[in-house]
Amino acid sequence: MKKIVLLCFFCLLFMFAHAQDKASRIDSLLTAYSNQKVFNGNVLVAENGVVLFKKSYGYADEETQRKLNPETVFELASVSKQFTAMGIVLLQKQGKLSFDDPIKKYVPELSFYEGITIRNLLHHTGGLPDYMELFAEHWDKSKIAVNQDIVTLFATHKPKVLFQPNEKYEYSNTGYALLGLIIEKVSKQSFGDYLKATIFKPLQMNNTQVYRSRYQPEVIPNYANGYVLDEKNNKVKPDTFGKEFYSYYLDGIVGDGMVNSNLDDLLKWDRALYGTQLVNDSDKQLIFSSIKTLDGKNTNYGFGWGISQHIKYGKSVSHTGSWAGYLTAISRFLTDDKTIIILQNNLTQTTKLPIDEIKRILYNESIVDKIENKIALTTKDLDVYLGEYSSPEFPLKVSITKDNITLMAQATGQSAFPLNAIAKDKFEFKRAGILLEFVPSEKKMILNQGGKQFVFTKS
């Protein structure tokens, strides 16, 4: 018996030391990024629901130099979509809607969009064009838009669908904004009140709410202000650019974003998704499953979650978000019950989202940057890439210019940054983890960052 007790003691000691080593490695990584000014935010890492690491780096308020702490509240941006999807699932469980209901049942003004269902919106297979470009062109920017304004603008201008329902997958903020509106119409509550009553309050997520800082400002204690860079590379709040900047006049729209939360509440959310307090196993099978579209490709997207299967990491579900000075992520490795939550209040060309690095530490792998052979190009070689690119999945346009033999990229309202050529038609900005791949014959550019991919077309 003594031998067994002693063996168990040494096993526990080894596990504790191993966990401490992982925590130390994560801290060293993030401290280095913080010192390089490429990381400003909060991180929580858990294994089997036990917090392995939780720490803050940098400021919540640059002007007053108020520091972040682990309880600080952040805008989640597109990480909000998983809550929107859960809201729809809960309404379906109550018998108040069906996933296969056409959206025209709830939004009759859009009845000219035939065949698009709630399920299509959840999986991003509806084909609706991006609402942000429509607002940029037609909206009175002295007003803050709400979800119904999307319907009004679409009904007025009738933009063509990008593809027919189920034909293919394309990430759509429009779809999730419409889901937010459908939640309001069916529940007869505001989007925020409904999520609070059905998700946040039952899970005791007491620091989580739907918050629109320009549309309905209020004082939230311990709140992280979002920051971007101005033309002089100074950190500024997006509102510095005025009311005609997209994050101001689109602030009233919910469903595709606008949930605000902190590390501890998101861990409560993570744990609840392993249990049955909100949904049963059958529901979770739907939520965490990819589907195939008519082109035979997997969406790799369930209900508000990106889906991945890896020979070493097993099944994982994740989502990232970027909006108005915030860069966020939650990654859940379901096979091994590991969780990474990252909340940042800086969104610049150099901001790092170290999901992959932390994942490698959790799985006892080394962190080694991939070294690719850089290739030399002439200034004439770069001409094929030049132009302005836009994507319905991405809120900003990207201009590609050149400075002698260096290709430059610049997003709307941001400063330009240099790109290194690493292969034919492939460029990177390593500090921010950006990889750009060009397809000149199709006038396309593919942006890869933080595990997300966006397809741009040259105008």
Give every residue of the chain whose pLDDT is below 70, as ranges.
1-19, 368-376, 395, 404, 413-415, 431-432, 450-452
Contact yes or no for 417/432 (Cβ under 8 A): yes
pLDDT at residue 132, as a whole number: 92
Q: Which of 324, 314, 288 has its CA nearest to residue 75?
A: 324
Q: What are phi and psi of 386, to 5 degrees?
A: -70, 145
* pLDDT for position 305: 97
- Give pLDDT, residue 163: 95
> d(Cα 298, Cα 295) in Å, to the nearest integer?
9
**pLDDT for residue 82:** 98
Q: What is the pLDDT of residue 3?
A: 44
pLDDT of residue 372: 39
What is the predicted pLDDT for the residue at 397? 83
Contacts of 228 (CB under 8 A, 6+ apart): 235, 236, 237, 238, 324, 325, 346, 347, 348, 413, 414
pLDDT at site 415: 63
Catalytic positions, written as ranges:
78
Six-digit token string for 66: 């108020």
Q: 3-class SS at 91?
A: helix
pLDDT recorded at residue 9: 41
Please give the Cα distance from 380 to 29 (Å, whole number). Answer: 39
Residue type, 54: K
For the chain, domains (ranges, CATH) are 75-362 (3.40.710.10), 381-458 (2.40.128.50)
pLDDT value at residue 116: 98
Tell whether pTM > 0.85: no
